[in-house]
């Protein structure tokens, strides 16, 4: 039986004290099963592939259902041109994207999005080496077809990651979905009942943040 971590035990206690935490956590397995089924259909569809990498926010945890997350919302805004291969996982950190998600990236996807880092920001020990890990992630993404979100936190590690993203964006390797400052809008009314994940309102905001960079990425590819 796998060893329980201190953070997982703390979440168990918190779920008792704050019922909303338990309700949101209960979405993890059904959402993962839903995406796994959708992924099989996406790979067999022959349609242009959008590969979504990241953590529970790319799974859509906190939304009313799996279609309420930012990925389905943005695909709808774009006219549903993509079959979505969602390789994200709840609880994922940057190293998990490197080790468990990128190795499954299909050859020449039309679009790749990355929204990860929130779980790396939770404690000082987790933040250690985050810029170096993110630099490795950027090196492994397909250039010219990737959109990567900045980190909204204001600590030194987040600022260092965002500087890497700005540089990669300036050189045309990626498009940047900027979640800094007021981009996400007010927290009030945009969080799920666990007070951590977005709700439908929050995911609509994230879809809006990604829409412009995704359209720019697709337009650049069409010109090239």
Number of structural domains in the chain: 1
Tell me the C-alpha distance between 99 and 101, whole Å: 6
In a domain, 8, yes or no: no
Write the DSSP assignment of 87-122 as a string of letters: ---TT--HHHIIIIIGGGPPSS-SEEEEE--TGGGS
Tell me the C-alpha distance between 109 and 206, whole Å: 22
Q: Which pLDDT score is estimated for 58?
A: 98
Dihedral pair phi/psi, residue 51, rounded to 5°: -100, 120
51: which strand partners? 85, 112
In a domain, 39, yes or no: yes
In a domain, 6, yes or no: no
Tell me the C-alpha distance between 211 and 224, whole Å: 20
**Is pTM beyond 0.75 here?**
yes
Nearest of 85, 77, 72, 217 to residue 143 by alpha carbon: 217
In a domain, 189, yes or no: yes
Q: Does residue 85 contact residue 79 with C-beta atoms inside 8 Å?
A: no
Per-residue pLDDT tens digits of the chain, which is 224 residues long? 334 343 443 344 344 445 568 888 899 999 999 999 999 999 999 999 999 999 999 999 999 999 999 999 999 999 999 999 999 999 999 999 999 999 999 999 999 999 999 999 999 999 999 999 999 999 999 999 999 999 999 999 999 999 999 999 999 999 999 999 887 777 778 888 888 899 999 999 999 999 999 999 999 888 87
Q: Which pLDDT score is estimated for 19?
A: 56
Nearest of 145, 178, 144 to residue 51 by alpha carbon: 145
In a domain, 77, yes or no: yes
In a domain, 9, yes or no: no
Domain extent for 142: 17-223
In a domain, 1, yes or no: no
In a domain, 91, yes or no: yes
Residue 182 sits in a domain whose CATH number is 3.40.50.1110
Say what angle helices 200-223 and 70-77 make with each other, to 10 degrees: 50
Tell me the C-alpha distance between 12 and 21, whole Å: 9
């Amino acid at each position: 039986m796998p060893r329980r971590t201190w953070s997982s035990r703390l979440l168990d206690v918190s779920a008792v004290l704050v019922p909303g935490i338990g309700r949101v956590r209960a979405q993890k397995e059904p959402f993962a099963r839903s995406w796994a089924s959708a992924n099989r259909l996406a790979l067999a569809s022959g349609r242009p592939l959008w590969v979504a990498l990241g953590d529970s926010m790319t799974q859509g945890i906190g939304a009313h259902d799996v279609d309420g997350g930012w990925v389905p919302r943005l695909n709808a805004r774009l006219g549903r041109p993509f079959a979505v291969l969602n390789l994200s996982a709840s609880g994922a950190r940057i190293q998990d994207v490197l080790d468990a998600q990128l190795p499954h990236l299909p050859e020449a996807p039309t679009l790749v999005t990355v929204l990860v880092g929130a779980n790396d920001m939770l404690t000082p020990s987790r933040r250690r080496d985050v810029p170096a890990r993110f630099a490795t992630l950027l090196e492994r993404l397909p250039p010219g077809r990737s959109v990567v979100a900045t980190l909204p936190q204001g600590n030194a590690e987040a600022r260092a990651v965002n500087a890497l993203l700005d540089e990669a964006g300036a050189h045309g390797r990626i498009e940047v979905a900027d979640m800094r400052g007021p981009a996400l809008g007010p927290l009030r009314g945009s969080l799920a009942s666990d007070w951590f994940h977005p709700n439908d309102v929050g995911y609509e905001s994230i879809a809006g943040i990604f829409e412009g960079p995704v359209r720019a990425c697709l337009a650049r590819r069409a010109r090239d």
